[in-house]
Amino acid sequence: MTAREKTGVAKSAPRGKTKLDATDVAVIHELQKDGRLPYSKLAPAIGLSEAAARQRVQRLLDRGVMQIVAVTDPIQLGSKIMAMVCVRTSGDARKVAKEISGIPESIYVVATTGSFDLMVEIVCQSHEHLLQVLNEKIRGLSGVADTVVFMYLGTYKHVFTYSIS
């Protein structure tokens, strides 16, 4: 198991370095519809043999182009609070991002441009838990200059089937 698999942290690939052909795009589209699609059904849908489909999927996984994961809904699983924490840093934002990525409550950490250096999605069990994460785990980090917190009141769209072609 790689470090990326253990942590669930996606490694940023150099932009524009990965070229996809029509078959790669077809594989991704089919797996976006159903990530559990067996090779026996994927293969004919993309015009390959089962062995070739299996190899194509593995190549996409190995290159970091895609991941096949189960996406859970934290609220359905008992978490009460989801929030986006916008972070301004002093110094190297990448170092702060790496530290925040190690916080178990953080589920999404990205570097951004504009008013904030980082955007961090967190999941907490209560308001008190949210306050603890903010004060003890995020705001206390060296390099964190300021935070702005947006608590989620409802989720109206959350998809993983965006077009890649």
The domains of the chain, with CATH numbers, are 3-62 (1.10.10.10), 81-151 (3.30.70.920)
Q: Helix 39-46 to helix 22-33 angle, to the nearest 10 degrees?
A: 140
Distance, in Å, from the CA atom of 106 to the CA atom of 138, rounded to the nearest integer, reads 10
Q: Where residue 15 falls among pLDDT bands split at 50, 70, 90?
A: low
Mean local confidence (pLDDT), 74-78: 75
Confidence of residue 1 (pLDDT cuts 50, 70, 90): very low
Average confidence (pLDDT) over 43-50: 96
Between the alpha carbon of residue 24 and those of residues 42, 52, 83, the distances in Å are: 12, 12, 35
Q: Tell me: pLDDT of 4 over 80.
A: no
Average pLDDT, the chain: 88
pLDDT of amino acid 6: 44
